[in-house]
């Protein structure tokens, strides 16, 4: 089977395991060897595998309606959006298919709002060294790691990179032309690096000072994966840090 996979898939990754079943925090390969799934499906399987309540809900819904478009509404989507609004800073929710798509939506929101409310030249988005925001052309440009960008040039303009957790550098780089700051409260690809105490609040104040949006990429740290609903809530002054948007494994919240 591995030989078949190598023949039919593009070699973006080189997996050596073929998984066949799962339960709780464990998965098994075709030979029955057991593994602990610390990856949790890259933040998707936060409840583990085969969670009874989730399995029941999926089974019941599959007998009613599988899929439609956003031209129509469904009760589960409305209920989920309401729960997210009630539990978070957000006034509204926009559902996306992936983390990269959610970050694309946040980038477009920042640029669009800036063009409507501020000067045309206010288009720059500041991100941080060691970050990871996705692999689409815009989000890989927002990702301040050259190894992910090589070979995809020319990259879209309008992005600047700041050292992570550097208060002075952030102060110097956020200015009149900054329309948004995008940051992970805990960098996932950068080595699991949390923001220093006070750094997110510092960014919040700088964004307020320069009429810029603050975007939290919580694809890795959101939905309870750090012990709180969002990673930024570990900031001592979390109530003062709330962003304009936060991207989670489920959605983009605004």
What CATH number did the domain enclosing 239 receive?
3.40.640.10
Residue 198: the pLDDT is 95
Whether residue 69 lies inside any domain: the answer is no
Q: Are residues 86 and 53 in the same domain?
A: no
Cα distances from 102 to residues 109, 176, 191, in angstroms, run: 10, 25, 22
- Is the omega angle on the peptide bond into residue 29 within 30 degrees of 0, that is, cis? no
**Domain assignment of residue 162, given as a range:** 79-253
Nearest-Å Rg of the Cα atoms of the chain is: 20
Query: According to DSSP H, which parts of the chain are helical?
Result: 2-8, 40-43, 52-62, 75-87, 99-117, 137-142, 146-149, 167-173, 199-209
Q: Which two tokens stand for residue 176?
A: 């009149």
Q: Which two tokens stand for residue 235?
A: 């900031």
Cα distances from 94 to residues 11, 149, 250, in angstroms, run: 32, 27, 9
Q: Are residues 58 and 120 in the same domain?
A: no
**Residues 93/84, Cβ–Cβ less than 8 Å:** yes
User: How many structural domains compose the chain?
Assistant: 2
Listed residue (171, 170, 176, 172) closest to 120, CA to CA: 176
Distance CA 63, CA 128 (A): 45
**Residues 134/100, Cβ–Cβ less than 8 Å:** yes
Q: Are residues 231 and 178 in the same domain?
A: yes
**pLDDT in 10s for each residue of the chain, 254 residues:** 889 988 999 988 888 899 999 999 999 999 999 999 988 888 788 889 999 999 999 999 999 999 999 899 999 999 999 999 999 999 999 999 899 999 999 999 999 999 999 988 999 999 999 999 999 999 999 999 999 999 999 999 999 999 999 999 999 999 999 999 999 999 988 678 999 999 999 999 999 999 999 999 999 899 888 899 999 999 888 778 888 777 776 555 55
**Residues 161/167, Cβ–Cβ less than 8 Å:** no
Q: Are residues 143 and 223 in the same domain?
A: yes
Residue 249: the pLDDT is 64
Q: Are residues 104 and 178 in the same domain?
A: yes
Whether residue 22 lies inside any domain: the answer is yes
Residue 250: the pLDDT is 55
Q: Which two tokens stand for residue 187?
A: 């960098």
Beta bridge partners, 21, equal 28
Residue 14: the pLDDT is 83
């Amino acid at each position: 089977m591995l030989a078949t996979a190598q023949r039919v898939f593009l070699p973006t990754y080189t997996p050596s395991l073929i998984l066949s079943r799962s339960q709780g925090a464990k998965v098994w390969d075709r030979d029955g060897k057991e593994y602990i799934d610390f990856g949790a499906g890259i933040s998707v399987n936060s409840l583990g595998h085969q969670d009874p309540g989730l399995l029941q809900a999926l089974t019941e819904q599959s007998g009613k309606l599988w899929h439609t478009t956003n031209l129509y509404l469904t009760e589960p989507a409305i209920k989920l959006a309401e729960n997210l609004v009630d539990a978070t800073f957000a006034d509204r929710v926009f559902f996306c298919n992936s983390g990269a798509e959610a970050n694309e939506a946040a980038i477009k929101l920042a640029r669009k709002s800036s063009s409507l409310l501020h000067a045309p030249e206010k288009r720059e988005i500041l991100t941080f060294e060691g970050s990871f925001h996705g692999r689409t052309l815009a989000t890989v440009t927002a990702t301040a790691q050259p190894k992910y960008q090589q070979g995809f040039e020319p990259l879209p303009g309008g992005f600047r990179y700041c050292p992570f957790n550097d208060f002075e550098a952030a102060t110097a780089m956020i200015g009149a032309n900054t329309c948004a700051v995008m940051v992970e409260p805990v960098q996932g690809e950068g080595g699991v690096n949390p923001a220093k105490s006070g750094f997110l609040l510092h960014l919040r104040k700088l964004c307020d000072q320069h009429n810029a949006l603050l975007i939290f990429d919580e694809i890795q740290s959101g939905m309870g994966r750090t012990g709180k609903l969002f990673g930024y809530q570990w900031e001592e002054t979390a109530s003062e840090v709330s962003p304009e948007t936060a991207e989670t494994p489920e959605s983009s919240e605004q």
